[in-house]
Structure 1
Amino acid sequence: MELIVQTFTVRKKFALKISRGTTDRTTNLWVKIKEDDLEGWGEASPFSISKAESKDTAKLEQEIIQISPRLAKFHPLQRQEIAEILDNQQVPSSVKAAIDTALYDWLGKKVGLPLWQLWGLNRDRIVPISVTIGISSPENAVKRGLAWQETIDFQILKLKLGNPEGIEADKAMLEAIRSAFPQARLTVDANGGWSFNDAVYMSHWLANLGVEYIEQPLAVAENDKLATLSKNSPLPIFVDESCFNSSDIPRLASSVAGVNLKIMKTGGLTEAKRTIEIAKAFGLQVMFGCYSDSSLANTAMSHLAPLADYLDLDSHLNLINDPFSGATISEGRLLPNNQAGLGVEYHAYK
């Protein structure tokens, strides 16, 4: 099989600020696998879980270029051999995600079925997605919510908290949103921006305002405090940065209520599906999230969406120049289509 990679840069309509910093654009990778006159597509986007890490698209591209000759001798159906090479070479999880997704897209096109149908899933079980409001002043947060209303008839707002200015700034932002959108369901993601004491306090304060859960309240370095926090919190605690793939589930299962899975963290749909199954076996709820992903990656995850309890697949809706289209919004839900494979199309942008 032939493996091709090219870069594309996406710009956000609204820059997204979280506790670790702000992003307004990213350069991602479009990976194509060719075999038997068919192309399978995947996406790799750079991400980091700490301020110390760099987001280096060039490094990801070089990893793909270096591994390509070793993969070229295989057929897309030889997934076991391909996975072993990727594991042995310890390629970044986002590179694995792009290749794994492209292999599934190729397979779906080969057999003429969309992935959700290939897996025997039911699109009617897909829950509405949430849309995200980054850390900002109360006034700007409300403006962002109003802007979202022009894009999607949302039911759930996900608020990024962990403001460097402290929890009083977090509270002011959330109160403004609750007042402006009284009917919206609210969830909160602190991206590891709170201390343990602040997290306990905020869990009670947020519960009184009807928030449904708290995501990643503590930094990854404080994973050992998650169990105690969960015992002292009236709200379910989910983790994101603390959970990459299925190997993380056993150590987290007794400490949290759920996990946020992202295709770039798990390393593809294969591992995402495995992680879902293990999380469910441990009684955990499952959420899907995203980074600065285009419709290509979010459509890929939408095919597994019938298995998720919560969905935060909104990054492509905040892009000015998304070069792809695939899953569509219907009544607040992101639904994969009936086309074979991922069902994604490319639209050139100048």
Structure 2
Amino acid sequence: MSIKIKILPRLLHFKQPAGTSRGVYTIRKVWYILLSNAANPELYGYGECAPLPDLSCDALPDYEDKLRLFAQKFTERNNFDWEELRNYPSMLFGFETALQHYQRQSLQLWDTPFARGEEGIPINGLIWMGSYEKMYQQIQKKIRKGFRLIKLKIGAIDFEEELRLLTYIREHFSKEQMELRVDANGAFSTTDALSKLERLAQLEIHSIEQPIKAGQWKEMARLTAQTPLPIALDEELIGINTLDEKKALLDMIRPQYIILKPSLHGGIVGCEEWIKEAEARNIGWWITSALESNIGLNAIAQWTATLHPTLPQGLGTGMLFEDNIEIPLEIREDQLWFNPNKPDTICIDS
């Protein structure tokens, strides 16, 4: 198998500004990996490398140079050494999914009921950070679309106003009718986190992501031991790339859940390590995309379907960009579906 590789940088534009704890995104830079057969260019595979600025452990100034170096090594060896890429999770994810696409020659990257269009993957409805009015409008829209689990990013406006939004939902929908997740993105201080968790628990919240900033293992372990509602780790997992580090973190903090994003948390192979170690400790998990375009989102969804998840996943970000790549993913009510009857190709100007 003689493979050629092209690296295709692209700048994507959000349809609407995406508010996060690290500011507001209006553009998104990604790098597509194109593998093609040297003798037959019609045999190809795409992967997506999409590090998040100020968040990914491999969001480096010389990112593209390193990516091209790994691509050169790939072509020289005709394969890649994933251990060599362990500290570059977004690059690893791009290479391993490009290779999976190349080997399958189909966007149905694994053979599952999801890939065959027989089953959807339940997802949460994401409410972006913003003013009270804008968040309220988003909530109304998600409810009308039929979502039964809503995730709110909190920490950007006054906590009392955020509680009002959550209270509004609870006044109209019971826990059985509508589940709520919140993502604090480390916004709480170590001194007020527990009291805020207690107030949130009164609203029967499913879970809270990353209540305090990452890197405070002792404080986080204290919170997970005392919390009145489940805590899920997200940013805490970034940069924890070796198996021994993963075991040490889970043993010390003992979270109720972990949230896995292949671009951030070790690619698919690294996330599978996290899942194995979490399940050995009775820790729950779910999968989330990290603002990838549809190429990355499809790869995450296709892989997620192989895991037979029991909880709604965070895979509803495929409609964010004005200039996204056409892929047969569809959101129907509160599920992500793959439509195998649509074209099974990717068109990118290389």
**Is TM more than 0.5 here?**
yes
Q: CA deviation at 1:72?
A: 0.8
Residues 129 and 338 (structure 1), Cα distance of their counterparts in 2 relative to 1, 3 Å cut: same
Q: CA deviation at 1:9?
A: 2.2
- How many Å separate the matches in 2 of 1:9 and 1:228? 42
- How many Å separate the matches in 2 of 1:120 and 1:10? 27
Residues 274 and 64 (structure 1), Cα distance of their counterparts in 2 relative to 1, 3 Å cut: same
Q: CA deviation at 1:246?
A: 6.5
SS in structure 2 of the partner of residue 117 of structure 1: coil
Q: Is residue 236 from structure 1 mapped to residue 238 from structure 2 by the alignment?
A: no
Number of the residue aligned with 1:250: 247
Deviations 1:101-121 (A, max 9, x none): 111111222xx7933328999
For the Cα contact (< 8 Å) 2:107–2:345, is it kept in 1? no
User: What residue ranges of structure 1 are gaps of 5+ in the alignment?
Assistant: none
Q: Is residue 135 from structure 1 mapped to residue 134 from structure 2 by the alignment?
A: no
- Please tell me the residue identity of whatever aligns with 1:139: E
Q: CA deviation at 1:272?
A: 2.3
- How many Å separate the matches in 2 of 1:348 and 1:107? 19
User: What residue ranges of structure 2 are gaps of 5+ in the alignment?
Assistant: none
Q: CA deviation at 1:344?
A: 6.0
Residues 120 and 21 (structure 1), Cα distance of their counterparts in 2 relative to 1, 3 Å cut: closer
Higher share of residues assigned helix: 1
Deviates more, 1:41-50 or 1:153-162: 41-50
For the Cα contact (< 8 Å) 2:15–2:320, is it kept in 1? yes
Q: CA deviation at 1:220?
A: 0.7
For the Cα contact (< 8 Å) 2:114–2:302, is it kept in 1? no
Report the aligned-residue RMSD.
3.3
Residues 310 and 279 (structure 1), Cα distance of their counterparts in 2 relative to 1, 3 Å cut: farther
SS in structure 1 of the partner of residue 7 of structure 2: strand
- How many Å separate the matches in 2 of 1:122 and 1:257? 33
For the Cα contact (< 8 Å) 1:136–1:173, is it kept in 2? no
Number of the residue aligned with 1:10: 12
For the Cα contact (< 8 Å) 1:17–1:23, is it kept in 2? yes
Residues 122 and 115 (structure 1), Cα distance of their counterparts in 2 relative to 1, 3 Å cut: same
The equivalent position to 2:51 in structure 1, one of 26, 46, 58, is: 46
The equivalent position to 2:323 in structure 1, one of 303, 321, 324, is: 321
SS in structure 1 of the partner of residue 36 of structure 2: strand
SS in structure 1 of the partner of residue 255 of structure 2: coil
Q: Is residue 346 from structure 1 mapped to residue 346 from structure 2 by the alignment?
A: yes
Number of the residue aligned with 2:313: 311
For the Cα contact (< 8 Å) 1:32–1:40, is it kept in 2? yes
Q: Number of aligned residue pairs: give it.
A: 334
Q: CA deviation at 1:31?
A: 0.9
Deviations 1:83-134 (A, max 9, x none): 24435xx5x321111111111111222xx79333289999878651112112
